[in-house]
Amino acid sequence: MIELLPAIGVATLLAAAAGLLLGFAASRLVPREDALVDRINALLPQTQCGQCRYPGCRPYAEAIARGVADTNQCPPGGEETARSLAELLGREPKAVDPLYGAADKPRAIAWIDEEICIGCTLCIEACPVDAIAGAPKFMHTIIANECTGCELCLPPCPVDCIEMRAVTDTGVSRRPRSRLAA
Amino acid sequence: MATPAARGLALPGFKMLAATPPMRTAPPPAVAVLPLNQHTGAPAIPCIHVGERVLLGQCVARAAEGVSASVHAPVAGKVTAIEDRPAPHVGGAPTLSIVIDNDGSDECANALIEPGTALQLAPEVLRERIQAAGIVGLGGAVFPTGIKLTRGPRQRIEELLINAAECEPYISCDEAALRERAADLVRGVAVVLHALTAERCTIALEADKTRAIAALQQALAAAADARIGIRIVPPIYPSGAERQLITLLYGREVPADGVPTDIGIVCQNVGTVLAIADLDTNGLPLIERIVTVTGHGVRQPANVVVRLGTRIGDLIEFCGGYTADAARLIMGGSMMGIALPHDDLPVVKATNCLLVASDQDLRPRSPEMPCIRCGECATVCPAGLLPQQLHWAARERDLDGLTRLGLEDCIECGCCDYVCPSQIPLATRFRSAKGMLCERSETRERAERAGHRYDVRAQRLEAAAAAREQRLKEKRRSARRPADADPDPGPDR
């Protein structure tokens, strides 16, 4: 029995040391939650459409970081975003839940029929990225370059003059960077 | 450092098809069609109206801001339309073009510079005139020359490299130009050296162009310009690629994200220097170029001096028309050219060659087989990449992997395609993979901007809400204060 005492003592000491170390790490070396939120947010498409049931991409990122939301709630990001989110968090990758919307739709942006628009500014208030220009009683128009295609401007419009139009071509010529000079 | 051996392929040459007969000059077109994006960069902006009469050499579309080049009238006559017309470029989408009806007078506009005075101009003035003349790299990359020359002086330019290594198996327009206009080239080199304030020039050409070498040596002896030298490179495709040629000649590499000027070298094509020589000779901007019309599908292959805007079909007609077994029309060489859907397209600044391929010219292509990992592609890749690994990454759509493997450095020369025993169209795959990379970076950029706009909006709304709260509070307080201040309630109370 007596010969066991040093072993028990050493084990206790080791456990205490490890415990102290872990305790210190847990209190002092917490990963900044902001940093994680930023990293998650960077993977999101920034459509700000709210299909994930959060008011924007950053709130969704915060919810994921808190462990409240799952990684498969972003239809505009599609499977690729779901996969990279799961990868970042070390979770099992899941397919996008159709409950939130159809994934991987072709990119579309809003278009205002300027003949019908009455200038009510409701869509301007709804746009999460300030991509609609206009003023009360004046015609509104979409800033095509900034529109994320979130569709949030559709429901508030009292005259249904906004429609989504597919972006067929980005207009960038795919020229190789360097070519033969022969 | 030892000069690395040129990597690439010794391809069977078909240059003699068009290179054997003397150079010809095509008649000016009856109607000239001028696409406004004949160069790398932003399309030019029209500066004439429909119905206006323009003179030969008059600027009809001014260079846009940034990288762009002007377009000039190749004939004198009336502008009949400014509209979308099909143009010969990748994708083939119609582009805004200016259409001019030739009145046959060839009445010239004012010269851009007083003929023969280029060397008396200050270098920066000369560079600005070269840019105004709409001169672009005529080797096929069509980068505005004025900008390329102007970039230099901020850095130190030690050397002008004239790229006469025309390695595509069918193209011979530079070779023909060297043979017949070597003296003009030497004069043009002097002008470019003056514009660059550089002191040395190397003309690089391939060992198998013996007649061109002889003509050049003769012209150099006559000019007795000690600044200009000749370097012979092995006739290996694609030694004429700018970066590859520089590595071959100087043993130095151009940084992947840089340009040759970063290491003190400016590289110019033979045709471009001749265009600059012409600007000096007669003050005319870029209105014509040499086009190699070749292949077994055309009756009389030749190098032809053509006005820009000439219909390709008319040019083929000028060369005797199509033979019975003409199969495909390709602009550029057989390795890197683009297939044209039809010949009702104009000759543009980038048209260095029109290859009318017959079945004899085309390699029979059997169906694609799986990669057997033989590694042949890696031994020929002139950019030193691993096409096999790139192929796997492209198949997996592994965009990070593609970037890591250096897809951006692929020059799409097609050497890997050529040697692949499984007939995998590697270069085509890489081109579309570059498209994917491009798309992803666009998407990321868009997301970043949208995220930023969202954050800014959120801040603004928060500030507005806070301001409103503040205002309400103040209002409440001021509504209460008179009551507090007045101890004596009114008689009504």
Q: What is the CATH number of domain A33-89?
A: 1.10.15.40
Domain end, chosen from B262, B287, B303, is at B303
Instruction: Tell me which fold the domain A106-171 belongs to.
Output: Alpha-Beta Plaits (3.30.70)
Q: What is the pLDDT of residue B334?
A: 86
B27 within some domain: no
Distance CA B328, CA B363 (A): 12
* CA nearest to B174 within chain A: A182
Distance from CA of B164 to the nearest CA of A (A): 7
> Is A178's CB within 8 Å of B243's CB?
yes
Distance CA B194, CA B478 (A): 78
- B388 plus B295 within the same structural domain: no
Mean pLDDT, rounded, for A163-168: 84
- B281 plus B374 within the same structural domain: no
The percentage of residues in chain B with a pLDDT greater than 90, rounded to a whole number, is 56
- B284 plus B142 within the same structural domain: yes
B416 within some domain: yes
Q: Do domains A33-89 and A106-171 have the same CATH topology?
A: no
> Is A128's CB within 8 Å of B438's CB?
no
Mean pLDDT, rounded, for B344-355: 93
Distance CA B236, CA B165 (A): 9
Q: What is the pLDDT of residue B12?
A: 79
**Residues of A with CB below 8 A from B426's CB?**
none
Burial class (CB in 10 A: 0-12, 13-18, 19+), B465: exposed
What are the phi and psi torsion angles at B288 (to 5°)?
A: -145, 165
Binned at pLDDT 50, 70 and 90, residue B5 comes out as low
Mean pLDDT, rounded, for A38-49: 91
B2 within some domain: no
Mean pLDDT of chain B: 89
> Is A179's CB within 8 Å of B141's CB?
yes
Mean pLDDT, rounded, for A12-22: 95
Question: Pick from B168, B171, B431: which is nearest to A176 by CB?
Answer: B431
**Does the ipTM exceed 0.90?**
no
What residues 177-236 of chain B have any CB closer than 8 A to a CB of chain A? Answer: none
Helix, strand, coil percent values for chain A (each to nearest 5): 35, 10, 55
Q: Region of B147 please: left (phi>0), alpha (psi -120 to 50) or beta.
A: alpha
Q: Where along chain A do its domains lie?
A: 33-89, 106-171
Query: Which CATH number fits the domain that encloses residue B235?
Result: 3.40.50.11540
Binned at pLDDT 50, 70 and 90, residue A173 comes out as very low
Distance CA A53, CA B109 (A): 66
Binned at pLDDT 50, 70 and 90, residue B254 comes out as confident
Domain end, chosen from B265, B285, B303, is at B303
> Is B243's CB within 8 Å of A146's CB?
no
Domain end, chosen from B303, B323, B354, is at B303
> Is B455's CB within 8 Å of A178's CB?
no
Binned at pLDDT 50, 70 and 90, residue B288 comes out as very high
Which one, of A71, A18, A181, A174, lies nearest residue B266 by Cα? A181
> Is A181's CB within 8 Å of B413's CB?
no
B65 within some domain: no
Distance CA B226, CA B228 (A): 6
> Tens digits of per-residue pLDDT, B140-170?
889 999 888 886 556 778 899 999 998 888 9
> Is A181's CB within 8 Å of B449's CB?
no
Mean pLDDT, rounded, for B480-486: 61
Q: What is the pLDDT of residue A177?
A: 36
Q: What is the pLDDT of residue A170?
A: 43
CB of B88 within 8 Å of a chain A CB? The answer is: no
Q: What is the pLDDT of residue A176?
A: 37
Distance from CA of B78 to the nearest CA of A (A): 31
Question: Pick from A44, A129, A170: which is nearest to B442 by CB?
Answer: A170
> Tens digits of per-residue pLDDT, B322-349?
999 888 899 988 888 888 989 999 999 9
**Residues of A with CB below 8 A from B454's CB?**
46, 48, 56-58, 128-129
CB of B271 within 8 Å of a chain A CB? The answer is: no
* CA nearest to A41 within chain B: B451
Asked if pLDDT for residue A168 goes beyond 70, the answer is no
**Residues of B with CB below 8 A from A146's CB?**
449-450, 453
CB of B412 within 8 Å of a chain A CB? The answer is: yes
Which one, of B473, B447, B323, lies nearest residue B17 by Cα? B323
Mean pLDDT, rounded, for A125-143: 92
**Residues of B with CB below 8 A from A171's CB?**
none
B67 within some domain: no
B472 within some domain: yes
- B384 plus B281 within the same structural domain: no
B220 within some domain: yes
Q: What is the pLDDT of residue B80?
A: 95
For chain B, how many structural domains are there in total?
A: 2
Mean pLDDT, rounded, for A154-161: 94
Q: What is the pLDDT of residue B350?
A: 92
Distance CA B242, CA B268 (A): 9
User: Whole domain around residue B288: which residue ranges?
Assistant: 113-303
- B272 plus B394 within the same structural domain: no
**Residues of A with CB below 8 A from B172's CB?**
none
B66 within some domain: no
User: Which segment of A161-175, B177-191, B266-280 scores lowest on mean pLDDT?
Assistant: A161-175
**Residues of B with CB below 8 A from A44's CB?**
447
**Residues of B with CB below 8 A from A178's CB?**
141, 241-243, 411
* CA nearest to B168 within chain A: A182
**Residues of A with CB below 8 A from B269's CB?**
181
Query: Which CATH number fits the domain that encloses residue B441?
Result: 1.10.1060
Mean pLDDT, rounded, for A12-36: 87
Q: What is the pLDDT of residue B364?
A: 75
Asked if pLDDT for residue A55 goes beyond 50, the answer is yes
Which one, of A92, A62, B443, A35, lies nearest residue A82 by Cα? A92
Question: Pick from A47, A148, A182: which is nearest to B166 by CB?
Answer: A182
Beta strand segments in B256-337, E: 265-269, 288-294, 302-307, 326-331
Tell me the sheet residues that pair with B97.
B35, B83
